[in-house]
């Protein structure tokens, strides 16, 4: 079946450092991936997406990398700030193209 997982459940970084959050996926046919950020008590918020025909996409302070050979997705946050503290989820679109499968999430803690 399809599954999306994360290598590290918890990540602590110093303020100002770069953060890298990793995700492994199992469905090699998935064509679309999204990273979400969830702050405490709130619903997940869209951060950045990437299609399978790309290997890198950049946003404001965030970069998503896709390695289809090893079925690996990563989210890089530059100059991590206290406001980046949250749980981050990767999600892949399922085989039917309508729903997303979410990983269990990684908690990012930014240390002062």
**Residue with smaller CB distance to other proteins, 83 or 97:** 97
Q: Does 89 bind other proteins (CB under 8 A)?
A: yes
Q: Quick check: 71 binds other proteins (CB under 8 A)? A: no
Query: Does 92 engage in binding with other proteins (CB under 8 A)?
Result: no
Q: Per DSSP, which regions of the chain are E strands?
A: 4-5, 10-14, 19-25, 32-38, 45-51, 56-58, 62-67, 72-77, 86-93, 100-102, 106-111
CB of 4 to other proteins, least distance (A): 8
Q: Does 99 bind other proteins (CB under 8 A)?
A: yes
- Please state, in angstroms and as integers, the Cα–Cα distance from residue 18 to each residue in 25, 38, 76, 100, following that order: 23, 19, 7, 27
Interaction between residue 42 and other proteins (CB under 8 A): yes
**Interface with other proteins includes 50 (CB under 8 A)?**
no
């Amino acid at each position: 079946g399809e599954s999306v997982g994360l290598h590290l459940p918890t990540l602590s970084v110093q303020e100002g450092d770069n953060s890298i959050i990793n995700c492994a996926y199992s469905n090699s046919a998935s064509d679309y991936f999204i990273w979400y950020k969830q702050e405490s008590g709130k619903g997940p918020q869209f951060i950045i997406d990437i299609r399978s025909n790309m290997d890198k996409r950049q946003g404001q302070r965030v970069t998503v990398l896709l390695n289809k050979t090893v079925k690996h997705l990563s989210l890089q946050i530059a100059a991590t700030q206290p406001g980046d503290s949250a749980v981050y989820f990767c999600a892949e679109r399922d085989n039917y193209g309508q729903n997303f499968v979410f990983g269990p999430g990684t908690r990012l803690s930014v240390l002062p």
